[in-house]
Amino acid sequence: MKYIAPSSVEEATSLLSTSPSAQVFAGATDVVPQLRAGRSAPEVLVDLKKIEELVSMAKDDDKWTVGAATPTANLTEDEAFSGEFPGLSEAAGLIGSDQIQNRSSLGGNLCNGSPAADSVPAMVVNGARAVIAGPNGTRVLDVAEVVTGPGQTSLEADEFIVEFEIDRMPARSGDAYLRMIPRTEMDIAVVGAGARVTLAEDGSIEEAVVALGAVAPTVVRVPDAEAALVGNTADDETLSAVAEAASGVCNPIDDKRGTVAYRKQVAGVLAKRAVLIAIERAEQRNGSK
Amino acid sequence: MAITEENPGYKWVGTRPIRPDGLEKVTGKAQFGADLMLPGMLFGKVVRSPHAHARIVSIDTTAAEAMVGVKAVITGSDFPDLAANGAHASDIDVANNAIAREKVLYEGHVVAAVAATTREQAEAAAKAVEVTYEILPHVLTVDEAMAEGAPLLHEGMITKGVDPAPEEPSNVASKILHERGDLEQGFGEADVVVEREFTTKPVHQGYIEPHAAVADANTDGRAHIWCSSQGHFQMRAYSATVLGVSPGTLKVTAAEIGGGFGGKTVIYLEPLAVRLSQRAGRPVKLVMDRDEVFRATGPTSGTRIRVKMGVSNDGKITAAEVWMAYEAGAYSGSPVGAAGMTAIACYDIPNFVVEGYDVVCNKPRVAAYRAPGAPMAAFAVESVLDDLARDIGMDPIDIRLANAAVEGTQASYGPKFPRIGFVETLEAIKDHPNYTADLGPNQGRGVAAGFWFNAGMMSSATVHINENGTATVVTGSPDIGGSRQSMALMAAEELGIPYESIKAVVADTETVGFNDVTGGSRVTLATGAAVVDACRLIVEDLRARAAKTWDVEVDQVEWVDGQAQHVDGSQPPLSLSDLAAKSGRTGGPISANASLNSRGVGAGFSTQLCDVEVDPETGVTRVVRYLTAQDAGRAISPDYVEGQMQGGVVQGIGWALNEEYIHDQDGVMENPSFLDYRIPVASDLPMIDCAIVEVPNPAHPYGVRGVGEVGIVPPMAAVGNAINDAIDVRMTDLPMSPVRILEALTEQRD
Ligand SMILES: Cc1cc2nc3c(=O)[nH]c(=O)nc-3n(C[C@H](O)[C@H](O)[C@H](O)COP(=O)(O)OP(=O)(O)OC[C@H]3O[C@@H](n4cnc5c(N)ncnc54)[C@H](O)[C@@H]3O)c2cc1C
């Protein structure tokens, strides 16, 4: 096995196009356990952390740009970021432990393709986009479009994600992410729920996005919950509609981590709770960005 | 700390000095089982059965043997056939569990082992060993194993303890029975009777350090083993049995141990490493990974238990009927015997029947786990007692006080209790502020109690006085719970020198007299008594030397505060360092040995109080407050005593809420990792408050009872009772996981 650490995006893409069994990695917190378990055996491992733009965070008036290999610890430590996207920041802060978060990345969390990846529902509700580099330059794809099934992405073998773009949080908006695990940390989500809302001047909900993790082969949006929220407030009726819709879109499996019935029921509960937190945060963000 | 007897002015016993092993462990210097490297050492890998039950048709090792770097490949036929040699049945089981002969009885059962120059070569060679199996139908639980027509693990197994003996073989290895009084009459006197059935799953001891062994065999048949275990003398004995050699040909050195909890009192790797080393002519290291630890070591039994108990309206238990079946795993020897003896031992009950079955099934052979057998039985009994208290409207501590075993009570398992401290643990809970702390919404409070015998057994110790008057205390009891500190504290008290002047060490099997395993909470009691005996011999010797120096009779000399003093003060005192410096002129080196069979155990009791909060929408239970009161007899080292108390509770909370072996239909374990086998993490737990109760054991010089085990007996019931208090649902199946709790809540609503 060969280890290569390119220092530019171009160097990395040309490496990938010339060595077909190469695999990129960032924190390797998924890659190393998979190697150890004999589940993968790439000939070349390409370390993305030596490429500057992949390990950086920046914002302008329109958007945040987060390098795909940036340690997720940075997302929780950067007060400007975590103040603006508390839900995404908290989701990133749930990954493993401090030690893991000093290595783990959004790019790895997404491209590992686990239905239970914690940051993905939070990225989806915030409309994050992936900037993907390949031999012919870059393309931009919604995060929601990247994963196609457990362990599967729509990226070509010679492509990788350079960075994520997330539009600045508008006024009167807030996000949230909650997960259910039997323990309090070092565990894998049995259900994850992300929500983002924007309130109208009158306090009613103007826009809403709800997405669930760990209850289907990929992260799923809950359009019926979003529709139930828009134009309403978080009254009991609306919230039960959200819960029902969330339970309804679940397509989970029965396994050692949870039953179908459990996952459906709890998906509804967490979706409802995440929406409530997002609303509370939106109410506090009355001012500008 | 709740002191119920006055401390008679000890200077060192009962203090909290810095732990002696801390620095080496924190700096990474301590040598655990896997740390040893020897020149020319090979790496071994074990080949394990992928099937729960199968006949071994053939094993072809030729491909593996031909691989680069491979120096030895062994199978069951490389070991003596103990059955053919007419060995004792229990020895045959030990040998067959170490490496299978005709049949594999669980997924993970060893069928072969290889040794090669590198770890990678060994792993590749292990994969190249070709084993042909004839798969047999398997049984995974007591229900399946006891069913009519169940496939048999051992064709000749006739249930013991049944009269007349059954004619047909079965998977039931033995039956136990304890009876007293008249059950029918007892239930007739009851105002309320509750009967419930409980199940528990196998759970693993979960020690952080996986099993590891290095063996270096000589051409003369001798071999040296380094391993992490709870008893290197035991490892020597078992290895000798499996290898068919005399124990004296094996030398075993104890490595530092990263947890055992009972699970490291048995052998797995040691005889394999010796045989590989003999075949290869090089030292061989075998280390398990976590997956192997789960699949092939530990765990403790899964169980099914029925309890029926009756009380009169004044809270007196009138009768108890307990039926229990314990999984033994592949070979007989579940802890159902101890379960039967402990199930109702906390209480003075006039009429009872306790009946138990030891049942084999196609899972790894169970190993001891803290108070083996008692926790599951207590989960059932203490849950039913909680229901009874509620039904008659009595406080849960009061109902236990009304029935508590005290000095003179005829224990349910036979003997009369000497002085015991159960009542004191109940009172310690009742007097603690936690007992009346306010509960929030969705919170509940539960009480439960537990009993454990504590063991005595055999120990040896040697004490050497160094030339400057410091001392070395040598025992053969691996330190898994702080025994080096406790030994040094007792020696400091006896010799009258500072704790810091004493070094306690664990010596190999050739350097100190025999010691039974570190288990049964026995080391501070029994090995501690041997250390005290040896110190007292030293003090006698020192007095004699002082008498000689002063030319007076020995009875004129007292040993006070580490000094020989003349009774009338007519001589300047001689300190231990004075006497040590002159030892060459007063009879030579100062040293003493003591060996003993423990003079008397002191039973341990624990009462615990648990507050939980249950999320009624997700079924998640969080323990928000926890108090454990335990009779230590005497807390020689209160830090370590609290560590043992807290550790037992933490493991019990894991057992209560999340831990379980999950098998698929083929009998293959589905969760052999700490991701899906969920022991508690630090953030799951509140501070575990401790109330040490001290009711001294009259049979020990300092009153020690032993504290390592009873703390794990009450937690499952304490948590279950608290959940019941919070959401009015009686959970009867462990673990009380979010999925199960939400199911139960949904049922309750419908
Ligand atoms: C102890 C432990 C606890 C964990 N707990 C959690 C948890 O609570 N929640 C959770 O969601 N996950 C958890 N994980 C999984 C893991 O840490 C996360 O998925 C993490 O975000 C992966 O990031 P990484 O940078 O380490 O990925 P890597 O291991 O480097 O890569 C993962 C995958 O993504 C690919 N990849 C990486 N970067 C890119 C890129 N820029 N473009 C294209 N493909 C890329 C790699 O080829 C690989 O297939 C845990 C892991 C461990 C070991």
Same domain, A137 and A48: yes
Contact flag A180-B680 (C-beta cutoff 8 Å): no
Map residue B616 onto helix, strand or coil. coil
Q: Which residue, A115, A141, A167, sits at the end of a domain?
A: A167
Q: How confident is the model at residue A247 (pLDDT cuts 50, 70, 90)?
A: very high
Give the position, in ligand 1's atom list, of the atom nearest the Cα of A29. 26
| Chosen from A34, A97, A184 to mutate, greatest number of chain B CBs within 10 A | A184
Cβ–ligand 1 distance for A44 under 6 Å, the answer no
Q: Which residues of A touch B676 (CB under 8 A)?
A: 256-257
Contact A257 B676 (CB under 8 A): yes
Atom 11 of ligand 1 has which residue's CA nearest to it? A117
Model-level pTM?
Answer: 0.97
Rounded to a whole number of angstroms, the distance from the CA of B51 to the nearest CA of chain A is 20
Q: Is the CB of A107 under 6 A from ligand 1?
A: yes
Residue identifier of the C-alpha nearest atom 37 of ligand 1: A108
CB contact under 8 A, A185 and B670: no
| Contact across the interface for A262 and B678, Cβ inside 8 Å | no
Q: Which residue of B has its CA nearest to A263?
A: B739
Task: Report residue A117 CA to chain centroid gap.
Answer: 7
Taking contacts as CB-CB distances below 8 angstroms, the residues of chain B near A184 are 622, 681, 683-684
> With the CA atoms of A103, A108, A113 and A115 taken in that order, what torsion angle do they form, in degrees rounded to the nearest 10?
50
Dist CA A238 CA A232 (whole Å): 7
Compare all CA atoms of chain B with the CA of A184 and give the residue at the minimum distance.
B684
Residue A72 lies in a domain: yes
* Residue B298, burial from CB neighbour count under 10 angstroms (0-12, 13-18, 19+): buried
Taking contacts as CB-CB distances below 8 angstroms, the residues of chain B near A186 are: 675, 681
Q: Which tens digits make up the pLDDT trace of A267-284?
A: 999 999 999 999 999 999
Q: Please, are residues A2 and A43 in contact by the beta-carbon 8 Å criterion?
A: yes
- Label residue B355 exposed, middle or buried (CB < 10 Å: 0-12, 13-18, 19+): middle
Structural domain includes residue A288: no
Is residue A29 in contact with ligand 1, taking CB distance under 6 Å? yes
Average pLDDT, chain A: 96
**Is position A196 within any domain?**
yes
DSSP label at A144?
Answer: G
Q: Do B655 and B735 touch, CB atoms closer than 8 A?
A: yes
Tell me the ipTM for this assembly: 0.94
pLDDT tens digits along B68-119: 999 999 999 999 999 998 999 999 999 999 999 999 999 999 999 999 999 9
Residues A142 and A89 in one domain: yes
Of A186, A188, A256, the CB nearest to B662: A256
pLDDT by residue (tens digit) across B490-543? 999 999 999 999 999 999 999 999 999 999 999 999 999 999 999 999 999 999
Residues 640-679 of chain B whose Cβ lies under 8 A from any Cβ of chain A: 657-658, 662, 670-671, 675-676, 678
pLDDT at B5: 54
Asked whether residue A217 is domain-assigned, the answer is: yes
Closest residue on chain B to A191 (Cα): B618
Verify whether ligand 1 is closer than 6 Å to residue A25 (CB atom): yes
Ligand 1 pocket check for A147: Cβ under 6 Å: no
Binned at pLDDT 50, 70 and 90, residue A226 comes out as very high
| CA dihedral sign of residues B391, B395, B396, B398 | negative
Cβ contacts of B617 on chain A, cutoff 8 Å: 266, 269
Strands A152-153 and A160-167: unpaired
Residues of chain A numbered 220-279 and touching chain B (CB < 8 Å):
256-259, 261-262, 265-266, 269-270
Q: Which pLDDT tens digit goes with each residue over A248-268?
A: 999 998 888 889 999 999 999
A207: CATH: 3.30.390.50
Helix, strand, coil percentages in chain A from 3-state DSSP, rounded to 5: 35, 25, 35
Model confidence band, residue A286 (pLDDT cutoffs 50, 70, 90): confident
What share of chain B has pLDDT > 70, as a percent?
99
B579-593: string of b/e by CB count within 10 Å (b at 16+)? Answer: bbeebeebeeebbbe
Question: Are A49 and A132 part of one and the same domain?
Answer: yes
Mean pLDDT of the residues in chain B: 97
Q: For residues B15-27, give the mean pLDDT.
A: 95
Q: How far away is chain A from the Cα of B679, in angstroms, using its nearest Cα?
A: 9
pLDDT-derived band of residue A287, with 50, 70 and 90 as boundaries? low
Do B678 and A266 lie within an 8 Å CB cutoff?
Answer: no
Contacts of range B726-731, beta carbons closer than 8 Å, 24 or more positions apart = B726/B442, B726/B443, B726/B444, B726/B612, B726/B613, B726/B614, B727/B442, B727/B444, B727/B614, B727/B616, B730/B196, B730/B383, B730/B387
Contact across the interface for A182 and B738, Cβ inside 8 Å = yes
A61 interfaces chain B, CB cutoff of 8 Å:
no
CATH number reported for the structural domain that contains residue A61 in this entry: 3.30.465.10
Is the per-residue pLDDT at B1 higher than 60? no
Boundary-marking domain end, from A125, A152, A167: A167
Q: Is the CB of A26 under 6 A from ligand 1?
A: yes
Residues A50 and A96 in one domain: yes
Look at residue B210 in the predicted model and tell me its pLDDT.
97
Q: Residue B706 is which amino acid?
A: G
- Report the atom number in ligand 1 closest to the C-alpha of A97: 3
C-alpha angle with apex B308: B158 to B450, nearest 5 degrees?
85
A116 plus A200 within the same structural domain: no
Q: Quick one: which of B117, B111, B115, B116 has its CA closest to B130?
A: B111
> In chain B, what is the straight-line distance between the N-terminal and C-terminal CA atoms, in Å?
47
Q: Which domain holds residue A162?
A: 2-167
Query: B234 — phi, psi (to 5°)?
Result: -65, -40
Are A113 and A215 found together in one domain? no
The mean pLDDT value for A163-168 works out to: 98
Which residues, at least 6 apart from B509, have a Cβ–Cβ distance to it below 8 Å? B232, B233, B236, B250, B251, B252, B253, B476
Our CA dihedral for B100, B104, B107, B111, rounded to 10 degrees, sits at 40
Is A49 a pocket residue for ligand 1 (Cβ < 6 Å)?
no
In A, which residues are within 8 Å of B684 by CB distance? 183-184
Q: Is residue A100 part of a domain?
A: yes
pLDDT tens figures, B347-391: 999 999 999 999 999 999 999 999 999 999 999 999 999 999 999
Q: What are the tens digits of pLDDT across the range B292-312?
A: 999 999 999 999 999 999 999
Q: What is the pLDDT of residues B270-290, one digit of tens each?
A: 999 999 999 999 999 999 999
**Domains of chain B, start order:** 22-30+456-598 (3.30.365.10), 34-137+205-296 (3.90.1170.50), 409-451+602-749 (3.30.365.10)
Q: Of A137, A167, A197, which residue sits at a domain end?
A: A167
Is A289 part of a structural domain of the chain? no
Task: Give CA–CA dist A217/A150, Å, rounded.
Answer: 6
Which of A266, A184, A135 is closest to B657 using CA atoms?
A: A184
- From A268's Cα to the closest Cα of chain B, the distance in A is 10
Number of C-beta neighbours around residue A71 at 10 A: 21
Does residue A228 share a domain with residue A124? Answer: no
Q: Whose CA is nearest to atom 8 of ligand 1?
A: A95
**Structural domain contains residue A254:** yes
Q: Are A152 and A37 within one domain? A: yes
Torsion of CA B630, B632, B634, B640, to 10 degrees: -100
Tens of pLDDT along A34-85? 998 888 889 999 999 999 999 999 999 999 999 999 999 999 999 999 999 9
Count of the separate structural domains present in chain A: 2
Nearest to B651 by CA among B208, B335, B1, B265: B208
Q: Which of B670, B684, B746 sits opposite A183 (nearest CB)?
A: B684
What residues in B contact A265, CB-CB < 8 Å? Answer: 742, 746
Q: Is B619 on the interface with A (CB under 8 A)?
A: yes
> From the CA of A114, how many Å to the nearest CA of chain B?
15
Task: Give the DSSP H/E element, type plus range, for residue B621.
Answer: strand B621-631
Is residue A26 in a domain?
yes
A98 touches chain B (CB under 8 A): no
Band (B291; pLDDT cuts 50, 70, 90): very high
Contact A261 B671 (CB under 8 A): no
Q: Is A57 on the interface with B (CB under 8 A)?
A: no
Shared domain for A161 and A181, answered yes or no, is no
CB B628 within 8 A of CB B608: yes
Question: Mean pLDDT over residues B700-723, rounded?
Answer: 97
Q: How confident is the model at residue B226 (pLDDT cuts 50, 70, 90)?
A: very high
Residues A183 and A105 in one domain: no
Radius of gyration for chain A, computed over Cα atoms and rounded to the nearest angstrom = 19
Test site for ligand 1: of A72, A89, A111, most ligand atoms within 8 A of the Cβ: A111
> Taking a C-beta distance cutoff of 8 angstroms, is the pair B294, B129 a contact?
no
* pLDDT given for residue A289 in this prediction: 42
* A137 and A30 in a common domain: yes
B448 touching chain A per CB within 8 A: no
Q: How many CB atoms lie within 10 A of CB B152?
A: 18
**In Å, how far are A34, B51, B321, B346, B377 from B324, measured between CA atoms?**
42, 28, 10, 18, 8
Strand partners, B630: B606, B692
Residue B286 near residue B185 (C-beta atoms within 8 A): no
Give yes or no for residue A122 CB within 6 A of ligand 1: no
Contact with chain B for residue A55, Cβ under 8 A: no
> What is the mean pLDDT of the segment spanning B33-49?
97
Dist. CA B203–CA B734, nearest whole Å: 10
Give yes or no for residue A160 CB within 6 A of ligand 1: yes
Q: Are residues A211 and A273 in the same domain?
A: yes
Q: What is the pLDDT of residue A288?
A: 45
Task: Specify the pairing of strand B42-48 against strand A57-59.
Answer: unpaired
Q: Which residues pair with B574 in a beta bridge?
A: B564
In three-state secondary structure terms, A243 is helix
Sort out which chain B residues have CB atoms less than 8 A from A188's CB and list them. 675
